Amino acid sequence: MSRSSATMLEEIIRQAGEDWLIDTCVPPDAAIPRLQQTLEQLQATAGARLGNLAPEFSEQALLQEYRRNPAGVRAFLQVLGGRRSPEMLLMAWRIIHQGMELKSIELTYRRQATFNATVVLESPDGTEDAPYRSNNIHDFALFRHIGILEIDTNPVFEGFYPLHI
Amino acid sequence: MIGGIDIQVPTRAGESSLEVAVRAIRQRWPLAVFENGITGERYDEFRQIPLGNLEELFVYRDGACANLWDEEGAIPSIYNTMIHIIPNDETLSLVIDEKDAAMEALIQAVEWGLREEIFCVRAEKRAA
């Protein structure tokens, strides 16, 4: 990754007000390379799952999306820094960037035994992604960002929003 | 929008307010199309909406309704097929043609969606 692109990612993070992503990393200099590595893993996962429909996770693409939807990118950055699985990060990005809707969520948890999450997304025209699955407990943090609606008394999880940090 | 009923919804969701409203409306109108209320630019898909750069947004029930609004304006036969959204710092204005049960339910969904604590409660990050 070039020095100029490293600067771009850092600029997006600082402009978004998510400086903590860098400043709380030990050492802070390691933050950007780690995040770049996560983006590369995410790109590979997206390519494997979605082929030529995979979204782009370059820093330029992030910057473009930040200009379109700064709140969405803030939400994405907030989850990017932790120990999340690429698959579930992709799920979050599909909601933020591509407007996918949460069709179903299944969660199971047994203390010191198991954590399993399965999420199905669909587009407004009804097209579904293959289920997003995780047994990484850290992915639970993503669910904090999901919006809650009630439409005609029916439950709806919708949107992926930033926390006020 | 000239005329209509202006409903002010309090919000602390800041720049996410518009998105919450759009996503709620889309639950009722899955084929919704969108138009920049200032420039007239049309967005046929959610992903095209510049959520961070809009002063006003028209949400139409579908493309056919959007075309009718363009051609005919606010005629009674297409009342309540468009919602005009104006986001501000602490309120979100939703302008509709007339109140009916479906529209009131939708507005209530937006109100409650914006009152979720995710938009109101400050979280703190600490160094690991």
Please report how many Cα atoms fall inside a 13 Å half-sphere around the Cα of residue A82, on the Cβ side. Answer: 17
Kindly tell me if the per-residue pLDDT of A5 is higher than 60.
no
pLDDT over threshold 90, residue B54: yes
CA-wise closest residue to B21 among A147, A163, A119, A146? A147
Tally the domains of chain A: 1
Residue B2: the pLDDT is 55
Check pLDDT > 60 for residue B63: yes
B63 shares contact with chain A (CB less than 8 Å):
no
Looking at domain B5-119, its CATH architecture is 2-Layer Sandwich (3.30)
The full set of domain ranges for chain B reads 5-119
For chains A and B, count residue pairs whose Cβ atoms are closer than 8 Å: 92
**Residue A1: band (very low, low, confident or very high) from pLDDT cuts 50, 70, 90:** very low
Question: Which structural domain range is residue A49 located in?
Answer: 3-160
Is residue A111, in this structure, part of any structural domain at all? yes
Is residue B72 predicted with pLDDT exceeding 70?
A: yes
Question: Does the predicted model carry a pTM greater than 0.90?
Answer: yes
Residue B50 preceded by cis peptide, ω within 30:
no
The pLDDT-based confidence of A124 (bands split at 50, 70, 90) is confident
* Number of other residues whose CB lies within 10 A of the CB of residue A2: 8
* Residues of chain B contacting A150 with CB distance shorter than 8 Å: 109, 112
Q: Is residue A78 part of a domain?
A: yes
Q: Is the residue at A165 inside a domain?
A: no
Counting residues of chain A whose pLDDT is more than 70, the rounded percentage is 96
Q: How far is B62 from chain A (nearest CA, A)?
A: 12
- Secondary structure element (H or E) that encloses residue B111, with its range: helix B101-114
pLDDT for residue B120 is more than 90: no
Number of separate helices (H) and strands (E) present in chain A: 6, 5
Examine residue A11 and state whether it is found in any structural domain, yes or no.
yes
Q: Which residue type is seen at B117?
A: E
* Across B83-107, average pLDDT: 95
CB contact (8 A) between residue A165 and residue B122: yes
